[in-house]
Structure 1
């Protein structure tokens, strides 16, 4: 294994468009590799499926950024509300994580999410009604972005007029490239988001409804199972995580189909393959890239490599999900692939709580696009597509053409 960390070149458009040749080389060179990732941070990449699966359940690898030795990680959080943001379920470990997850898990059960299907379909059709007469659209801005934003906004009781604001602040907070973003810009976005969440919670407290936030406020006010910092952090996490990765799943899945016309034709002919197709999109080119961050509580040996205490560890799901030891012919998109135990949603106690909702939205969105947009094709050469840099992967724009139609009756 090389002593020098490999640089993931986020300023290179060719790497952003297709990082997998480099990922394949890293996996072939060794199961654990030091790398410079987004923001110029150094991490240890776990590149193989078996090791990644084990690491996601290893209690020696913490989700709490305070266990990291690199001070730049903590510095990315806003100083004025750092403790509040550290109360997030995403950044906590048991026993706090267990308690926090239990409070919201009932809202994301498969049965509860299945009940959202008619409303998700209604939103999907309304968004497509707006573009089908034109015969062209940007399927990110016009469709893949507003769909999950609307769904999570309704689930949390966020007024429609406010959704573009929290989307804009989220983009500013999560953008990553080769260097860390301007702290002033990020901090302003955090402040605006924090002020909005605080005000929204007060509004919901005065006028509770039949939504998840009202239940969480009750858990804080009446049952004392949630501190104020935890309530703010939970609201923030649900707003952000509830849409960001789903946008990339929908847009990335459509982009993958357009790049593989045989698979596109097969899915049109056999729509019953949609659930399998969504799992394959998650494995083949999922929305979290290169993977899931953890922090070593102590020296940890993985595949014969000692990772020092405090080091940032990235379970590189994007690399592991193309491990030929786990997936035959892994660089081939195959919507009929059967055994698809990918790591895109993680594993263990931190397995993505919103996975059932993301799957539902992905199936409805992609399936409806294929039904309602005949002759779907990219409006630009594939080389002109631009991709989001660092951490979260998906096309920034997806301009397409199709045969115009009319709104649904």
Structure 2
């Protein structure tokens, strides 16, 4: 999810933190974070690299992901989000943008082969992370770069893409979006059904984050292997917010053997934040509609930048404690079981609007400490940190090889 400062949200939530954002996590938590395999299925570094270059092999304090902090936090497998917007899709630029972002990740690895490696199979994790490398598998956020050409699934597989989020903020040629009022396909398009089958054939994870409920249900039913939600919180906490996963769909993901990966963004884990974000989408749609009407009538249009600035001023981002993320994990474990919950932070994708204590990839020990304080065993914490995702990925890969 690429959530800019324009998606500011209101009302603070008070709660005590098991780990304060400015305190070091206990040694026991830091030790487990370093020893466990931590997998984060959603980091938006590639898009930021395309807009403002930085060398992520050294400290990059204006970012949330870089090598030194990844090592500090114990992060081993960082899925790089190859994100393209609905606007890029409309302008015919999505495929070019996706390839350019993949190029940027490859360049980072080539610049620092001692620090990073591209990961294309869970079987290679132990071998490639030797020496302290952070592994960078690729996930495509929005299937728009496929356009309507099924052969592009293979082409992007060859470039390293290992999951595809079928849609993003608007319907594309594959699927309806959870955000858009328009339901173009009432779920998946005929082409989208072919895309799911081709992803299964190749071993690309089907990602149902961002898509409409109908599209998610159809994708889960069609898939012959597990599916994932790469960065979706539970809708139980945010009623009416379709972007978060419903209990029914979460159970379907788990029944298929998949994993729901919990994000750290305030807009997903705070009920008020989610409500305000939906209100912002509605207000922006009305603003655009009014401007279109004014333009058609030959009248001056209103300033979009002024509208966004006013929204931000009137809806300050709430401070949200790490407890909100821990509550999400607790709920998921109770709902679908310890084997089906993981982490998809959305670092570098939500404009810094993150829960306290989870501000960068250095902060995974804080999450570990919170889970330990809530009574999770180290074995179960290892599952949440990455074991569940690697297990599901392995099953998806094996399913492809079996055909």
- TM-score, scaled relative to structure 1: 0.25
Q: Which has the higher contact order (CA 8 A, sep 6+)?
A: 1
- TM-score, scaled relative to structure 2: 0.26
